[in-house]
Amino acid sequence: MPANGPVMDYFRDNALLDYFSGGFNGSGEGLLLVHGSISRGLAPFFMERMQQHQADQKLPEKEREGYTLLLAMRSWEFAAFVALRR
């Protein structure tokens, strides 16, 4: 899904808050935030591995299950933490 495509635009405009509302407490639900450091060399490999799910799109529909995965990765620091740096 393109980062600036129509589906992503719709999600940002209409579904983002709804998607994250609630406690993620249902069966099979979870919300996980993982923070860490990786080398700049590993970042492209990591992105490639995440994109491999597209190969499954060639399987017959009866062999696939619908899931939603939200995973974001970028070099970023929360602005409120910047002010706390010494």
| 65 vs 81 pLDDT, higher one | 65
Write down the pTM of the prediction.
0.49
Q: Averaged over 43-63, what is the pLDDT? A: 84
Domain boundaries, the chain: 6-82
Judged by average pLDDT, the poorest of 15-19, 51-55, 64-68 is 51-55
- Number of other CB atoms surrounding residue 43 within 10 Å: 13
**DSSP 8-state class, residue 53:** G
Query: End-to-end alpha-carbon separation of the chain, Å?
Result: 39
